[in-house]
Amino acid sequence: MDPYGYMGGIGESVEEGFKANAGEPLADGVAVAAEADVIAALQTVYDPEIPVDVYELGLIYKHDISDKGDVTVEMSLTAPGCPVAGELPGWVADAVAKVEGIGQVEVTITWDPAWTPELMSEDAKLALGMD
């Protein structure tokens, strides 16, 4: 269970390095999407039990776009036993892969550093009554 009380139950635990993939290589000559478009896609993914997107929650530690339009995302979860731990990285990969100008997407789970509420944006803290 989430140590901060936001998550309901215990789900499938995922290990460091768990990966989810989506997308296909971009065709030659296709313009690569802007970083803002990738961030906007990340902001469409929500944990079903928390009314804040994964980006604002601070779960996305890093996102890189290659010159070929491939994206690598490094993210964490609020807890290893998050009820959607095995699914959330795939949701992130799928959301980013839908962006025009994005090719293959690889999302990797990391537990270092461990997620804490301090990683949340001010908007997320306000939405969760933590201001």
Return the pLDDT at 4.
Answer: 35
Return the pLDDT at 12.
Answer: 58
SS3 track for 91-126: HHHHHHHCCCCCCCEEEEECCCCCCCHHHCCHHHHH
Eight-class DSSP state of 74: E
What's the domain count of the chain? 1
Q: What does pTM read for this prediction?
A: 0.87
For 27, the domain range is: 19-116
Q: What is the CATH number of the domain that holds 99?
A: 3.30.300.130
- From the number of C-beta atoms within 10 Å of its C-beta (0-12, 13-18, 19+), residue 85 rates as buried
Task: Establish if 12 belongs to a structural domain.
Answer: no
Q: What is the pLDDT of residues 37-91, one digit of tens each?
A: 999 999 999 988 888 999 999 999 999 999 999 999 999 998 877 788 889 999 9
Task: Establish if 123 belongs to a structural domain.
Answer: no
Contact 22/97 with Cβ under 8 angstroms? yes
Q: What is the pLDDT of residues 92-106, one digit of tens each?
A: 999 999 999 999 999
